[in-house]
Homo-oligomer: A and B are copies of this chain.
Amino acid sequence: MTYTTGAAEDYLKTIYAHTEWQTDLITPSALAVRLGVAPSSVTEMVKKLAASGLITHVPYGPLALTDAGRLRATAVVRRHRLIETWLVGEMGYDWDEVHDEAEILEHSISDRLLEAINARLGFPAHDPHGDPIPAADGTVQRPAALLLADAEVSHSGTVLRISDRDPAVLRELAADLIGPGTQFTLAAPFTIVLADGQSRLVTPAAARSIWVTA
């Protein structure tokens, strides 16, 4: 019924994350890859999550969160992002260093401590990578976004978020002073011009990590 182990939270969070910036549903094998787990482990957990009413699943089909599952998932994402924001804002971490610590703490911090952190930070709307922090009721403020790699040449916009999956990309972009809020024009593939006229070459990996206004 109230099935909320750390493992289950990770499955829910990952299912949620997959649909946050794209629309297709995640498959069991993709989930296995993302979680670094064998496909058979996914099958097993999927059965438990479905039995608890947190996801829907037809055999051999993809996975989808129920309303209850989405609420549970956004709660975990909320914890994760508030913790990341706190680590950068108060504890002297750089934005490429926070993900792993948050990955662990998100499962052990109490609601009370989380809200104390939230209040100290002034109720931030975004984490250091530009990801929206879900509200306690599960609501998420998410602007229309486009992967930089998919943007057309001459596209102008603002950087909305940068995936924190690859710390090397984050360090590279920090060195180039590119982050959420950076305004740019795509001059040529992988070449952006910033507001101050400086141009920057972004690596393909970075272009696949940067989401910009549509």
Q: How large is the interface on A (under 10, 10 to 19, 20 to 34, 35 or more residues)?
A: 10 to 19
Q: Which chain B residue lies CB-closest to A119?
A: B92
- Are the CB atoms of B116 and A110 closer together than 8 Å? no
When chains A and B are docked, how far (Å) is the Cα of A92 from the Cα of B87? Answer: 18
A198 to chain B, nearest CB (A): 34
Consensus secondary structure, chain A interface: helix
Binds B, one of A22-30, A70-78, A101-109: A101-109
When chains A and B are docked, how far (Å) is the Cα of A110 from the Cα of B116? Answer: 20
Copies of this chain held together in the complex? 2
- Are the CB atoms of A108 and B107 closer together than 8 Å? yes
- Are the CB atoms of B116 and A91 closer together than 8 Å? yes
- Are the CB atoms of A108 and B113 closer together than 8 Å? no
Residue among B87, B108, B116, B117 making CB contact with A105, cutoff 8 Å: B108
A192 to chain B, nearest CB (A): 33
Residue among B91, B92, B108, B117 making CB contact with A104, cutoff 8 Å: B108
When chains A and B are docked, how far (Å) is the Cα of A154 from the Cα of B16? Answer: 66
- Please name 16 pairs of A and B residues whose Cβ atoms are closer than 8 Å in the assembled complex, sorted by A: A87-B113, A91-B116, A91-B117, A91-B120, A92-B116, A93-B116, A101-B110, A101-B112, A101-B113, A104-B108, A104-B110, A105-B105, A105-B108, A105-B109, A107-B108, A108-B108
**Which A residues have a C-beta under 8 Å from some C-beta of B?**
87, 91-93, 101, 104-105, 107-110, 112-113, 116-117, 120
